Every structure is written in structure tokens, then in C-alpha cells.
Amino acid sequence: MKITFGTIFITKASKKLINKILDSGRLSSGKYVREFEKRFAQLVGVKEAVAVSSGTDADALALAVLYGLGAKRGDEVIVPALSFAATGNAVLQAGFTPVFVDIDKKTLNIDPLKIERVITRKTKAIMPVHLMGKPADMKLINNIAKRHKLFVIEDAAEAYGATYRGKNTGTLGDLAAFSLYIAHIITTVEGGMVVTQRSDFADILRSLRSHGRACKCKECVLNISSGYCNKRFKYDGNSDMRFSFERIGFSSKMNELEAAVGLGYLDVYQDILVKRRWNLQYLMDKLKKFYPYLTTVEEGAGETIGPHAFAIIIENGARFNRNELMHYLERKTIETRTLFSSMPTQCPGFKFLGYKLGDFPNAEYIGNNGLHIGVHQGLEKEHLDYFIDCLGKFLIKKIR
């Protein structure tokens, strides 16, 4: 039996729409991207959604909005030490300096009690990550941000379906970034989405994703229907706004074919979410019998974990290491992934920032002792039981 980490399918509706788009000859960002943005915003519960080409771009563009609000290149953004490298990469790509904070080992998320000690006059934002769909402690984070007049940008890449105190992740800060990569509950194959309640932020985002153009209408007549735009030659006197650039921007638009895939996923989103939640809850319950050797993140009061994947942490005192377990599972045809790394101390690309091993003990522990497997909608109970059975047999060999 093979347990894959993820799955992807293209719905019949998406295939039909893709063929329609191909026949139309209009493949770049247009009316279907606009429709996808509108429906995505409704799903999350926000006023604005701006589609981009990747989840990393979503983080970077959300941060780049801050330049229109007084931020300067080299200013600081506080992020958790533990995350997929895209989080730290995006801060640097946006022109800011990442300032790392250790995590709470039980939640895998940034430890809010350690945030204020790293705030300086150059700090402009906090970017918490809802790792493995577990909501960060947004009440404390937002209180800190309010005291220090900082922006909060959620990295919600893995947090589809997660809720915190009755609110959806993605609605808990000033902006939020989602990934639409194939491993996620909603996918466009590649892609990302930035969401916000502020129309002025969305205007900036639409400019940023297209090289910093002065064009930033929510509905662009040129993109949607190739019609005449009566605003086009009225920018700054009589300039062509399509070739007037107000800010340093990116090239990160979503295309129509990607939007067509995403629209199909929105049609079946609730069904996927229900199945993945069942799979996650089932594994969380079954793993309890392997305590104290193996643990996972737990659902706290007032929150729902988004069913992105199933995290497993090897605890102190276990007579085996993470690599032994991963090799065993892979030989049993169970696909695994590490549970990321401490970006500043375990990812060589961030070495230039000057952090040293030992600066983030909790993140480094998870970087050495964490792994995760999929809980996707293609997995049935028999797959999950096979996985639990394999874990049991592994532990029997190791703890005799």
C-alpha cells in the first residue's frame, strides 16, 4: 500500500473551462482570475483578494505594501525561526531584514512572549506563520503589534480551514498570504493569494504584481474584454498609465489557466476540507498511544487546526532518531517530509545574517526531530490504519 504525501486532480468543470480559455486565445490574467479572486475573498471572509504567481510572492508583495506606508529598505520584519524557507526568502525578496524569534515547541508557532525583546525602531511588521494549519496566538501578537504600531501579516500558506476565536485565518491581521501550490487544499498548481479588508492595500498589491504600474483597477476592462479604457491616457496629465510605474514592483501575475484550476477547487472545497479534517483528527487520536515517544500538535480551545498535513515530533528519550523513522516509513511506501528547519541556523542560505546554532533551541529541535505526512482527500481509513500499524511495528523494534 502506498501513502502519497499529496494529490492533485483537475475537475471536469476546470477542464472544460481550460479548453474554453485555450480556444479564446486569451491566456494571461483576465476575467477568470478576477472571478477566482472574488470567490476566494468570499470564502475567507474578506473584502479583497489579489492573485499572484506563488505563495512566496504572496508573502513578498504583502510586505512590499509597507513601502507605501513609510517603510524603508532594510527595515525589519519579525518572523518565526521555524518555517518553510519561503517565509524568510520572501522577507529578503521584499527588501526587508528578517528578525527571527524562537517557537513554542508545543504549537510549532512563533512564541509571542519572545517577540517584544527583538523589536527595534526599524521594526515594521510581525509575520506569524500558522504552521501545519495550527493558528498562531493572534490575540497576543495583535496586542503587541498595537502597542508598538506594527503591521501584522499572516503567513496562512498552510492554514485553509483553520479558525481562531471564531474567525478564519486570513482575517486576523492587516494582510494575509495563502499558497496555492499543489500540496495545499486549494491549488492552481502554482500560485498564491493576498487577502485584506483594506481596498487601499489591494490597490497597491495590484500595482506591485505588475511591475509597479499605475494601473490598479479591481476590474480592468483591458484585461477582461480588451475594451477601451477611458482612464488610460489621463494619468499625470496625459501619460499612458499602463506604462507609468509608481513603485518598484514584481512580475507575479496569475494566468487564466491557473485560475481555471483554482475555480474547480473552490467548487469542491468543502468536501475536501471535511475529508481532510476527518483524516487529521483520526491520526491525532491514534497517535496518542505512542506517547511519550511520539507527539503531535494539539487543537487548543477556541481554535480549529487547518488539515494541511500531520505533524509528528520525536520526543526526548526516544531510542531512535528522525532519520531512522523516515527511512523506515519510506521503505514501507509512506511518503514523508521533514518538519522544516530553523531558517537562521539550519539553512545555510541564511548564514550571512549572523545567527549561530543554539540561538533558537526549540526551532532547532523540531528541525532535527520533526516530520510530517499527508492527510489529503485521496487517503482512506485503510491507508491511515496502515500508517499507524507501521509506526507500532517500528516502535516495538526500537523500545524493546
Whether 36 contacts 262, CB under 8 Å:
yes
Q: What 8-state DSSP symbol labels residue 294?
A: E
Both 218 and 284 in one domain: the answer is no
Q: Which conformational region is residue 236 in: left (phi greater than 0), alpha (psi within -120 to 50 degrees), or beta?
A: left
The answer to whether residue 7 sits within a structural domain is no
Q: Which residues pair with 151 in a beta bridge?
A: 125
Q: Residue 398 — very low, low, confident or very high, per pLDDT cuts 50/70/90?
A: confident
The pLDDT of residue 217: 62
Summarised one tens digit per residue, pLDDT across range 285-340 is 999 999 999 999 999 999 999 999 999 999 998 999 999 999 999 999 999 999 99
The pLDDT of residue 323: 96
The pLDDT of residue 29: 83
Both 241 and 135 in one domain: the answer is yes
Both 31 and 111 in one domain: the answer is yes
The pLDDT of residue 241: 64
**Burial grade of 237 (CB within 10 A; 0-12, 13-18, 19 or more):** exposed
Summarised one tens digit per residue, pLDDT across range 194-207 is 999 999 999 999 99
The domain that contains 358 carries what CATH number?
A: 3.90.1150.10
Both 126 and 76 in one domain: the answer is yes
pLDDT at 229 over 90: no
The answer to whether residue 6 sits within a structural domain is no
Name the residues annotated as catalytic.
Answer: 184
Residues contacting residue 148 through CB under 8 Å, at least 6 positions apart:
116, 119, 123
- With a pLDDT cut of 70, the percent of the chain lying above it is 94
Summarised one tens digit per residue, pLDDT across range 251-288 is 999 999 999 999 999 999 999 999 999 999 999 999 99
Whether 327 contacts 159, CB under 8 Å:
no
Whether 132 contacts 392, CB under 8 Å:
no
- Examine the fold and report which residue of 208, 230, 261 is the final residue of a domain before the chain moves on: 261
The answer to whether residue 2 sits within a structural domain is no
Q: Please name which of 290, 295, 276, 299 lies closest in space to residue 384, comparing C-alpha atoms.
A: 276
Q: Residue 90 — very low, low, confident or very high, per pLDDT cuts 50/70/90?
A: very high
Residues contacting residue 31 through CB under 8 Å, at least 6 positions apart:
223, 224, 225, 256
The pLDDT of residue 246: 87
* Alpha carbons 149 and 48: distance in angstroms, whole number: 23
- Examine the fold and report which residue of 222, 242, 261 is the final residue of a domain before the chain moves on: 261
The pLDDT of residue 25: 86
Alpha carbon separation from 291 to 57, 307, 381 (Å, rounded): 39, 21, 22
Q: Residue 103 — very low, low, confident or very high, per pLDDT cuts 50/70/90?
A: very high
Report the relative pairing of strands 123-126 and 151-155 from DSSP bridges.
parallel
pLDDT at 233 over 70: no
Q: Work out how many domains the chain is built from and give that number.
A: 2
Q: Which residues pair with 372 in a beta bridge?
A: 311, 337
Q: Mean of the per-residue pLDDT values for the chain?
A: 94
The pLDDT of residue 227: 63
Both 316 and 238 in one domain: the answer is no
When pLDDT is averaged across residues 61-76 and rounded to a whole number, the result is 97
The pLDDT of residue 26: 87
Q: Residue 371 — very low, low, confident or very high, per pLDDT cuts 50/70/90?
A: very high
When pLDDT is averaged across residues 47-62 and rounded to a whole number, the result is 98
Both 380 and 280 in one domain: the answer is yes
* Alpha carbons 88 and 204: distance in angstroms, whole number: 22
When pLDDT is averaged across residues 358-371 and rounded to a whole number, the result is 98
**DSSP characters over 91-150:** HHHTT-EEEEEPBPTTT-SB-GGGTGGG--TTEEEE--B-GGGPPP-HHHHHHHHHHHT-
Both 38 and 91 in one domain: the answer is yes
Both 211 and 176 in one domain: the answer is yes
* Alpha carbons 109 and 219: distance in angstroms, whole number: 37
Q: Please name which of 17, 53, 19, 23 lies closest in space to residue 35, comparing C-alpha atoms.
A: 17
The pLDDT of residue 363: 98
- Examine the fold and report which residue of 261, 285, 314 is the final residue of a domain before the chain moves on: 261
Q: Residue 399 — very low, low, confident or very high, per pLDDT cuts 50/70/90?
A: confident
Both 67 and 212 in one domain: the answer is yes
- With a pLDDT cut of 90, the percent of the chain lying above it is 88
Summarised one tens digit per residue, pLDDT across range 136-193 is 999 999 999 999 999 999 999 999 999 999 999 999 999 999 999 999 999 999 999 9
Q: What 8-state DSSP symbol labels residue 1?
A: -
When pLDDT is averaged across residues 340-361 and rounded to a whole number, the result is 98
Summarised one tens digit per residue, pLDDT across range 332-344 is 999 999 999 999 9
H-assigned helices in the chain: 12-24, 31-44, 55-64, 86-93, 138-148, 199-208, 221-225, 256-287, 322-331, 343-346, 361-369, 381-399
Both 162 and 244 in one domain: the answer is yes
Residue 378 lies in domain? 269-399
The sheet with strand 370-374 has its strands ordered as 294-295, 309-314, 370-374, 337-338
Phi, psi of 382, deg, nearest 5 = -65, -35
The pLDDT of residue 212: 87
**Burial grade of 288 (CB within 10 A; 0-12, 13-18, 19 or more):** exposed
The pLDDT of residue 317: 87
pTM score: 0.94
Both 282 and 239 in one domain: the answer is no
Both 358 and 254 in one domain: the answer is no
